[in-house]
Amino acid sequence: MANRRLKRDIEERYGPVPHTAEDDARLFANPEFKAAYDALEEEYVALHALLAARKDAGLTQAQIAERIGTTASAVSRLEASLASERHSPLFMTLRKYAAACGKKLVISFA
């Protein structure tokens, strides 16, 4: 369910390269592709939450940066880091980001 919601949100915001249901069926029939796709779910759910908080607050990266005392490029790197394995943000940083958006950082395990 989270994958479908995330896919819909990404399509609405970022306009990915068009592909058909047949393309999806072909890709997801490959067990290696499906495993790689599923492995990314947690990162993309976290990224979606970060971007949704900023959007809900109506803030730009520069405005978030000003509120947490950093640069817009650092905020950009933070948002990008959730979709990569290069860097894991500190809880303190995520807490500041959430507060800048008028939110509270909440972490849960399912």
Pick the range with the lowest mean pLDDT from 15-24, 65-74, 96-105.
15-24
- Domains in the chain with CATH codes: 2-100 (1.10.260)
Q: Which amino acid is at 23?
A: D
Residue with tokens 């990404």, as numbered in its chain: 10
* pLDDT per residue as tens digits for the range 76-85: 999 988 777 7
Transcribe 31-94 into DSSP letters. HHHHHHHHHTHHHHHHHHHHHHHHHHHT--HHHHHHHHTS-HHHHHHHHHHTTSSS----HHHH
Looking at residue 17, its pLDDT comes to 74
Select the more confidently predicted residue: 81 or 106: 106
CB atoms within 10 A of CB 54: 20
